[in-house]
Amino acid sequence: MPIFDYRCKECSNLYDILHKGKEVIEDIQCPLCGSTHYTKLISLPGIIAKSTGRPPCDSQRCGMDQSCCGGSCGLN
């Protein structure tokens, strides 16, 4: 089921709508002001990443926040 992003032309509110099949124009309404005047936005698909459960690097100098120190793992 696709989720589309919209911007209300009346109040500039950003909102998204889950369409349970084909996009139905009558279902697109701003939840803030109730307007049916909108701009459909282009958005990137969501990505789900799997985690190994390990800290980003094995250095003993890494802090408690699991961040790398010195950039040795390439994340900094």
The whole-model pTM stands at 0.55
Every domain of the chain and the residues it spans: 3-41
pLDDT at residue 60 tops 60 = no
What are the pLDDT digits (tens) for 15-36? 998 888 877 788 899 999 999 9
Region 42-48: what's the mean pLDDT?
74
pLDDT of residue 13: 97
DSSP labels, 2-35 = -EEEEEETTT--EEEEE-SSS--GGG---TTT--
